[in-house]
C-alpha cells in the first residue's frame, strides 16, 4: 500500500494510491482507509509547505526580521496522522520573539492543523478524553494521548474566551425585523470539584422571540464557579450588548425564579422582569396541600388559580390575600403555617413580576424553561457523569466549548474566523 504524488498541474496535486485487494472485504475497507490517510498526510505536508515563507527578510511594523539559516523540522498533528514539515523561523537582530510564518499562515493551533483542532475540541466538548481517544482510534485510526486531547481543547476554548468581545460569532441569529422580544435568563447548577466539593457553575441564555411568542434562536453563556460571578456576568454583558446592537427595538424580558442574587443585574439590562410561572406554581401547589387536605378540592382550587394567573389582571394579589387569610387560621399547625407564610412572602416579594395576563397578551415568555434546560444540556449531561470531578480551568474550557457548540451557527462562525484570521 502506498500513496505518491505523481505530478502537479494547473495548481493541483495529483495523488496515486495503491491498495491491495484481499479476500476479506473488511480488510479491504481498512486498506482503503489507510491508503486515503496516507494520501492525506502527503497532501497535508505539501500544503503546509505552501503556507511557509520563502526565507526572504520581512518587516512587521518597524521591525525587520530575518530567517534563521536552516529550516527546522516540526511535527504537526492532522486528521490523517502526524506529518513532519521543515519550516523557517524568523527573528530580529535584537533577538526576542521568534516568528514562525507557517504556523500563522496555516492557522495551526498548538502543533495541530486547524481542521484537527476543530475535530478534537468538538468531540471533547461532548465527551471525556478517554471516549474521544477511542472515537479517534475507531473512526480515523488515530492514536493520540488524553493529555493532547485536553490541551488542544483548552487552546481552542482559550481562543473562544479571548475573542468573544472582538469577533461576532453569533451564528444563525434571526434578522432584526423578525424579533419582537428577547428573553434573558440566569441560573446555576452544581458540579463536583476536586478540592472544593460541590460548587455552582453559572448558565445564561439570551433567547429571541417573534411577535407571536415563538422561539427563534438561543445564545448560551456559561462560566465555571467563581466568587462574585464577575467573569460570568461580564460574558453576559458582552452577549447582551451584541444582541441589543442587532435588535435595538426588541423588548427585553428578564425571567427568573425570584432569587434576589441576580435581580439587580436583570433590572439593569431588561425593561420587563417576570417571575417564572412554574416556580410560583410549585409554591401554590405546596400551599394548596395545607389549605385543602382532600385531593379533589385541592386540585380544583389550584387549577382555577393557575388559570386565573394567566388570564386575569390582579389575580396574583387576590391569591396572596387568600393565602394570608388561610395562614391566620388558628387550627393550622406550625409546619402548615410556615409553608403558607413562605408562599405569601415569595408572592409578596415578587408581586410586581406576576402580571402574567399582560405578559401573555404581549406574547412574552413567562417561564424559565429555556434556561433550566440549558443547565441540563450544557452542564449536567457532560460534566456530572459518574465519578467526574473537575478543576476550575478544565471546567471553564469545556463550558466555553459547549456554549459555543450549542448556540446554533456559532461554532461554524467561530471557525470561519479562525480560518480567516487565526488565533
pLDDT value of residue 1 = 59
Quick one: pLDDT at residue 114?
A: 97
DSSP structure class, residue 112: B
Cell of 378: 450544557
* Amino acid 334: pLDDT: 85
**Given this model, what pLDDT does residue 227 score?**
81
By CB atoms closer than 10 A (0-12, 13-18, 19+), residue 60 is exposed
CA pair distance 135, 29, nearest whole angstrom: 18
Q: Quote the Cα angle for 22-23-24, to 5°.
A: 90
Nearest to 184 by CA among 149, 220, 223: 220
The beta-carbon contacts of 70-77 under 8 Å, at least 24 apart in sequence, are 74/100, 74/102, 74/111, 75/111, 76/44, 76/48, 76/108, 76/111, 76/112, 76/113, 77/111, 77/112, 77/113, 77/116, 77/144, 77/148, 77/152
3-state DSSP percent of the chain in helix, strand and coil, to 5: 50, 20, 30
The pLDDT of residue 386 is 87
pLDDT digits (tens, 9 = 90+) for 376-393: 999 999 999 888 999 999
Question: Model pTM?
Answer: 0.90
CA 300 to chain centre: 42
Other Cβ atoms closer than 10 A to 388? 12
pLDDT at position 8 is 79
Low-confidence residues of the chain, pLDDT below 50?
Answer: none
Give the max Cα distance, the chain.
96
Which residues are registered as beta bridge partners of 222?
A: 203
What does the buried/exposed string (b/e) look like for 360-382 if buried means 16 or more CB atoms within 10 Å of the residue's CB? beeebbbbbebbbebbeebbbeb
Amino acid at each position: 500500500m502506498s500513496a505518491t504524488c505523481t505530478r502537479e498541474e494547473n495548481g493541483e496535486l495529483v495523488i496515486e494510491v495503491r491498495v491491495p485487494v484481499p479476500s476479506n472485504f473488511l480488510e479491504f475497507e481498512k486498506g482503503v482507509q489507510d491508503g486515503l490517510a496516507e494520501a492525506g498526510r502527503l497532501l497535508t505536508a505539501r500544503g503546509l509547505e505552501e503556507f511557509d515563507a520563502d526565507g526572504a527578510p520581512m518587516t512587521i511594523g518597524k521591525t525587520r526580521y530575518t530567517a534563521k539559516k536552516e529550516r527546522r523540522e516540526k511535527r504537526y498533528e492532522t486528521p490523517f496522522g502526524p506529518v513532519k514539515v521543515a519550516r523557517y523561523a524568523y527573528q530580529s537582530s535584537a533577538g526576542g520573539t521568534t516568528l514562525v510564518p507557517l504556523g500563522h499562515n496555516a492557522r495551526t493551533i498548538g502543533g495541530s492543523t486547524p481542521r484537527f483542532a476543530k475535530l478534537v475540541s468538538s468531540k471533547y466538548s461532548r465527551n471525556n478524553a478517554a471516549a474521544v481517544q477511542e472515537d479517534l482510534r475507531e473512526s480515523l485510526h488515530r492514536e493520540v494521548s488524553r493529555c493532547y486531547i485536553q490541551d488542544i481543547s483548552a487552546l481552542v476554548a482559550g481562543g473562544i474566551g479571548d475573542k468573544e468581545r472582538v469577533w461576532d460569532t453569533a451564528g444563525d441569529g434571526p434578522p432584526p425585523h423578525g424579533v419582537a422580544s428577547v428573553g434573558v435568563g440566569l441560573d446555576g447548577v452544581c458540579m463536583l470539584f476536586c478540592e472544593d466539593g460541590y460548587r455552582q457553575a453559572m448558565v445564561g441564555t439570551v433567547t429571541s422571540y417573534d411577535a407571536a411568542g415563538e422561539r427563534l434562536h438561543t445564545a448560551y453563556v456559561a462560566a465555571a464557579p467563581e466568587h462574585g460571578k464577575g467573569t460570568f456576568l461580564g460574558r453576559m454583558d458582552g452577549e447582551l450588548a451584541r444582541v441589543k446592537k442587532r435588535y435595538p427595538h426588541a423588548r427585553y424580558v428578564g425571567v427568573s425564579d425570584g432569587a434576589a442574587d441576580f435581580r439587580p443585574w436583570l433590572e439593569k439590562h431588561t425593561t420587563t422582569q417576570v417571575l417564572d410561572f412554574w416556580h410560583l406554581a410549585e409554591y401554590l401547589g405546596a400551599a394548596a396541600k395545607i389549605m385543602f387536605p382532600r385531593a379533589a378540592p385541592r386540585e380544583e382550587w389550584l387549577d382555577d388559580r393557575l388559570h386565573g394567573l394567566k388570564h386575569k389582571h390582579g389575580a396574583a394579589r387576590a391569591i396572596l390575600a387568600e393565602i394570608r387569610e388561610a395562614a391566620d387560621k388558628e387550627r393550622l399547625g406550625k409546619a402548615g403555617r410556615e409553608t403558607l407564610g413562605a408562599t405569601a412572602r415569595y408572592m409578596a416579594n415578587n408581586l410586581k413580576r406576576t402580571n402574567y395576563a399582560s405578559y401573555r397578551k404581549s406574547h412574552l415568555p413567562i417561564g424559565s424553561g429555556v434556561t433550566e434546560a440549558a443547565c441540563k444540556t450544557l452542564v449536567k449531561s457532560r460534566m456530572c457523569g459518574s465519578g467526574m470531578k473537575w478543576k476550575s480551568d478544565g471546567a471553564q474550557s469545556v463550558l466555553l466549548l459547549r456554549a459555543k457548540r450549542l448556540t446554533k451557527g456559532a461554532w461554524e462562525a467561530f471557525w470561519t474566523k479562525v480560518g480567516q484570521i487565526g488565533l
